[in-house]
Structure 1
Amino acid sequence: MQRSLRRKTIIRAIPETGEIRVDALVRLTGASPITIRRDLTELAEAGVLRRTHGGAARPSKRGIPMPFAMRSDEHQASKRLLAAAAAELIGDDESLIIDNGTTCQAVALALAGRPVTAIALSLHAAAALASIPGASVVVPGGAIENDTLAFSGAQALRAVRDVRVDVAILGACSAAIEEGLTSTNYDDAQVKAACLGAARRSVLVATADKLSRTSTFRFGSAADLTHLVTTSAASDEVIAAFRGAGVQVVVVDDAG
């Protein structure tokens, strides 16, 4: 089993309560006990899980932030479709803020070469936008997170609050409509909330699985969005609920 897939399998196998043992993970993944223990150690260091004697349990917080590289490998085809659909909502010569995260990085790639002015909230998105001449790319500066290369803290928050743009392209850790738009990280939620206030149009780009999850730090509600771009795996009830909140929903068919 590929390393990134094995680690995602480990994370998803951890029960809501209690723990999972190393021997169970060996049977589940086909990896050796040494490999599983090394995975558990590194995932614990990343804050994704908590090591126990002989196994692993969920961390003592709401939401599980997967490492960027693992999230980048997930839903790649769907993210490309989402990115193309989101890029169609942005006109030439418009200004935008593009959020951090793997889905927003895909949108940045889809916009590369377009004549837009973009404030990129991660080095990943900035590099993707600047990979082809055409876009004017600005970064807020300040501290960046080691894993996501996202700009965080007071300087990023101030930079977003000081601008007015046509569009904000947003990601979310979770976006269950009853709970609102949420993140596993407090600073990230503050910056995302500022993005909502800085843009005339706010576009959430999210795979369907995120529309049924929630995390700890709320930064907005469905009513704060103008558009949702999601996949055909989203249920009719979820899509109807977003539309009922006044959101224009764009659904991309990722069945094939």
Structure 2
Amino acid sequence: MYVLVMAYGETRQARIVRALRSAESVSVADLSRALGASEVTIRRDLAELEQAGVLRRVRGGAVSAMLRGEGLPFAMRELERAEAKARIAAAAVARVSDGESVVLDGGTTGSAAARCLVERRLTVVPLALSEFGALAAAPGVSLLLPGGTVCAGESSLVGPMTEQNLAQLRLDTMLLTCCGFDPRRGVTAYDLQDAAVKRAAMAASARTIAMVDSSKFARTAMAVVCATAAVDMVITDVDAPEDVVAALRADGIEVQCV
């Protein structure tokens, strides 16, 4: 039996996903006890998560359907640590001054940051169509949408055209998201094309602020984006491991925990 620690504000399905990340398999009985829900409710949750491609139901429970190192679908990642991501996004946006040009990375924390930018006066280069949609009607935001291929299920822009468009720009701030963040192994992403776009956006920007919820410090994805030393500032949540925060600060990286 595994122990499932509940984060405040997390949905029940997000907790199930988190359990699968650490245990690879879960039982209906254990989930029912850990989450305080009936077994009927848990089975319904598992059925919905199976439809989302996250797991495969087996007798008495479920096993993960995700490949090793593979990212969860966007809709499921939005459920993970949503309140922490919202705080991180707000703190990152607060570091941006009106009049700046900002490239906004894709991902769930990037989407949260887009919602925080609506009332600001900025030039924004969104790297996901969902962010473009969130900011399209913002009166003070001037949008510059790069070309590229839309990544299915993510709405993010990838490919040579996106990279070339970014190379033609000189921007103030990159709001970076990632799939893994490790002081030794660097900043990583699940997708090679996504990693290449992140590097192009960083190269076009005078500074990079990484928005990293604490769960990312325990992960390393396949595609290397950069060394952590290439990041100017990290904004994370209060659950970030103290040793990681200390290591980043020792390397001269400013870290804000919110």
Give the TM-score taking structure 1 as reference length: 0.82
Which shifted more, 29-38 or 70-79? 29-38
Tell me whether 1:95 sits opposite 2:101 in the alignment: yes
Which shifted more, 10-19 or 235-244? 10-19
Q: Within 5 A, what are the aligned runs for 1:78-227?
A: 78-227=84-233
Which amino acid in 1 is paired with 2:48? Answer: D
Which amino acid in 2 is paired with 1:30? Answer: S
Which amino acid in 2 is paired with 1:112? Answer: V
1:35-81 deviation per Cα after TM superposition (whole angstroms, max 9, x unaligned)? 3663354233xxx4467788644457432422222222333332232
CA distance in 2, matches of 1:206, 1:213: 11
* CA RMSD, Structure 1 to Structure 2 (Å): 2.7
Residue-pair matches, total: 246
Q: Which runs of 5+ in 1 are unaligned?
A: none
1:207-244 deviation per Cα after TM superposition (whole angstroms, max 9, x unaligned)? 11212221111111110100111111113211111112
CA distance in 1, matches of 2:79, 2:201: 26
Which shifted more, 225-234 or 24-33? 24-33
Which residue number corresponds to residue 11 of structure 2?
5
**Structure 2 CA distance for partners of 1:78 and 1:5, relative to 1, 3 Å:** closer
CA distance in 1, matches of 2:90, 2:15: 29
**Structure 2 CA distance for partners of 1:75 and 1:131, relative to 1, 3 Å:** farther
Which amino acid in 1 is paired with 2:169? Answer: V
Q: Check whether the contact 1:144–1:150 (CA below 8 A) recurs between aligned residues.
A: yes
CA distance in 2, matches of 1:244, 1:34: 47
Which shifted more, 70-79 or 15-24? 15-24
Which amino acid in 1 is paired with 2:232? Answer: T
Q: Which runs of 5+ in 2 are unaligned?
A: 1-9
**Structure 2 CA distance for partners of 1:134 and 1:166, relative to 1, 3 Å:** same
Which residue number corresponds to residue 44 of structure 2?
35
SS of the aligned residue for 1:74 comes to coil
Q: Check whether the contact 1:62–1:215 (CA below 8 A) recurs between aligned residues.
A: no
Q: Give the CA deviation at 1:132.
A: 2.3
Q: Check whether the contact 2:29–2:39 (CA below 8 A) recurs between aligned residues.
A: no
